Structure 1
Amino acid sequence: MNYLFRTLLLLSLLTAGLLPEAVAQRGGGNRQERLSQLENARVAYITQRVALTPEQAQKFWPLYNEFTAKRRDLNQRLRQLRPSQTDALSEQQLRDNFSQSFKLRQQDIELEKDYFDKFQRVISVRQVAALFLAERQFTREVLKRVADRQGRGPAGGTDD
């Protein structure tokens, strides 16, 4: 999920045409405005791919935003458990980190299952499937565009 969040963020930057500015102004400029534009691009992409009606969108987006905030929190907590240097940790600390990591990943799965059910109350199961597919496509697109801009050619990879 952490990977998904990063790629969603990158694709949003690309969609909004802001990636070069974001990289060039890292730490500077109006960060809040760029993040707002990113969010708008992500919303537009998913709305179009899932074919949300205005009525569905009104109910769906608060639910989806709640889901992504919870997922983001889990991913942040998971990142904190991944030390850059493992040599400084005892074997017991490493075991504890792995155990906590597994618990957080299980919570992520439970969160996704819970929101799958909640999404179905607002949109059709076919639209829920389109949502998860759109997230993956969004990820692939951002990776491809980043690779193209860096002169590496199309990003390789596999379909999910």
Structure 2
Amino acid sequence: MNYLFRTLLLLCLLAAVPAAAQKGARPGGRLSQLENAKIAYLTEKIALTQDQAQRFWPVYNEFTQKRRDLNRRMRLLRTDEPDGLSDAQIKDNLTQALALRQQEVNLEKEYFDKFQKVLTIRQVGKLFVAERQFTRDVLKRVADRRGGLPPGGGPGLDD
């Protein structure tokens, strides 16, 4: 059974990686394949029971949506051309970015507590590690498909 699950997980990952490399993927299409692969990956890595999964995924999805919103707001503040901004605008953007980063830390603390109500502390620890590892694996596969360049064609990420 475990071998079958791992094989299915690998197939989902392999099917999802090309989707991550394509721009403008439809939310109901290939991007959802990546999300499904992440669900399978996290489920295996943190060894969710069926009962835990039913309680965990709604909480995790809520957390993910809030974190995505914060990240989207942070991206909107970034500029490649700060020379086009006044000193006051630069200061305001940096102040807002720091406030958003603090909100992200607060969000992680809040959901750290919520996750502990559904998972064991060991599973919570594995969750945070597995999320980072999944992201690294997907970015590596996308970079490999692009001939070794990380997404965006720039320097790689340290995270």
Q: TM-score range by the shorter chain?
A: 0.7 to 0.9
CA RMSD of aligned residues (A): 2.6
Task: Tell me the equivalent position of 1:127.
Answer: 123
CA distance in 2: counterparts of 1:148 and 1:33, whole angstroms: 22
CA distance in 1: counterparts of 2:65 and 2:157, whole angstroms: 27
CA distance in 2: counterparts of 1:89 and 1:114, whole angstroms: 35
> Which of 69, 75, 79 does residue 79 from structure 1 map onto?
75
Is contact 2:19–2:31 with CA below 8 Å preserved after alignment? Answer: no
> Which of 41, 49, 62 does residue 45 from structure 1 map onto?
41
**1:142 maps to 2:138:** yes
CA distance in 2: counterparts of 1:64 and 1:22, whole angstroms: 21
The structure showing larger relative contact order (alpha-carbon pairs under 8 Å, at least 6 residues apart) is 1
SS at match of 1:17: helix
Cα displacement (A) at 1:88: 1.6
CA distance in 1: counterparts of 2:142 and 2:24, whole angstroms: 20
Task: Tell me the equivalent position of 1:111.
Answer: 107
Cα displacement (A) at 1:127: 0.2
Gaps of 5+ in 2: 1-11, 150-155
Task: Tell me the equivalent position of 1:88.
Answer: 84
Shift >4 Å, 4+ stretches: 21-24
C-alpha distance 27-68 of structure 1, shift in aligned 2 (>3 A): closer
Residue type at the aligned position of 1:32: G
Deviations 1:2-35 (A, max 9, x none): xxxxxxxxxxxx81514435646x447x552222
Count of residues in Structure 1 that have an aligned counterpart in Structure 2 = 144
Deviations 1:110-155 (A, max 9, x none): 00001000000000000000000101111221233223333439xx
Deviations 1:76-111 (A, max 9, x none): 111111123212210010001000000000000000
Gaps of 5+ in 1: 1-13
* Sequence identity (%): 58
